[in-house]
Amino acid sequence: MYLNVPDWYFLAGSNKAGMGYREVNWALPRERQIMLARQNIYDGTWEETPSMGWMFVPLTEYHGGCPESTLEPLSEHLED
């Protein structure tokens, strides 16, 4: 079981840390969000393994996002 706790002290009980992202990117259209998220995950693996990290993915409009940036309703955006 992993704890989603942003803490660099993994031996003190937590075992995941944020991979790093810019919150304003979630206001971009989904195609750009996916591309930037993949880049952030790849860049984060230089410092930690993928299983050590977590990222935030909003489902509704975030930071003034447009309808093209939202994932809700999920039934209409399963491929994304």
17-50: per-residue pLDDT in tens? 666 677 788 888 888 988 988 888 888 788 777 7
The pTM (predicted TM-score) of the whole model is 0.65
Give the span between the Cα atoms of 76 and 4, in whole angstroms: 28
1-22: per-residue pLDDT in tens? 556 665 565 566 666 666 667 7
Buried (b) or exposed (e) across 51-79, using 16+ Cβ within 10 A?
eebbeeebeeebeebeeebbbeeeeeeee
| Domain spans in the chain, listed from the N-terminal domain onward | 10-76
Buried (b) or exposed (e) across 31-50, using 16+ Cβ within 10 A?
eebeeebeebeeebeeeeee
